[in-house]
């Protein structure tokens, strides 16, 4: 399973999410269209991912990678933040989960 495919899937989701967030704030139809494009790309990349990986692995890696990348995007680009140290602990556990899923998928 290609890690690059999972990262691309997560980036497409970030594109869709942020465009829909901007649409929700502004009502700009261009942002709505951008969100649709992002999620159309998500569907395409999800199908490609499922052609080479099982649903349990793909879903776990996608959820974890998306949580990590979207959090970094929200912090550094959108200026958002988490509210408590427990949320940071939870994010750390997600990162550990990605590492363990990836470690279990490496052929020896």
Q: What is the mean pLDDT of the chain?
A: 90
**Amino acid 22: pLDDT:** 93
Tell whether the model's pLDDT for residue 28 goes beyond 90. Answer: yes
Domain count, the chain: 1
Tell whether the model's pLDDT for residue 20 goes beyond 90. Answer: yes
Tell whether the model's pLDDT for residue 108 goes beyond 60. Answer: no
**Amino acid 29: pLDDT:** 97
**Amino acid 60: pLDDT:** 87
Q: Give one word for 89, left, alpha or beta, with left for phi > 0 and alpha for psi -120 to 50.
A: alpha
Average pLDDT on 56-61 reads 88
Tokens of 12: 């497409």
The residue range of the domain holding 15 is 3-105
């Amino acid at each position: 399973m290609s890690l690059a495919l999972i990262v691309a899937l997560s980036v497409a989701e970030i594109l869709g999410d942020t465009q829909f967030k901007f649409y929700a704030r502004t009502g700009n139809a261009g942002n709505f269209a951008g969100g649709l494009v992002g999620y159309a790309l998500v569907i395409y990349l999800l199908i490609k991912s499922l052609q080479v990986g099982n649903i349990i692995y793909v879903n776990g890696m996608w959820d974890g990678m998306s949580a990590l990348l979207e959090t970094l995007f929200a912090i550094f680009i959108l200026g958002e933040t988490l509210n408590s140290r427990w949320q940071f602990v939870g994010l750390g556990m997600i990162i550990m989960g990605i590492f363990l899923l990836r470690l279990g998928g490496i052929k020896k």
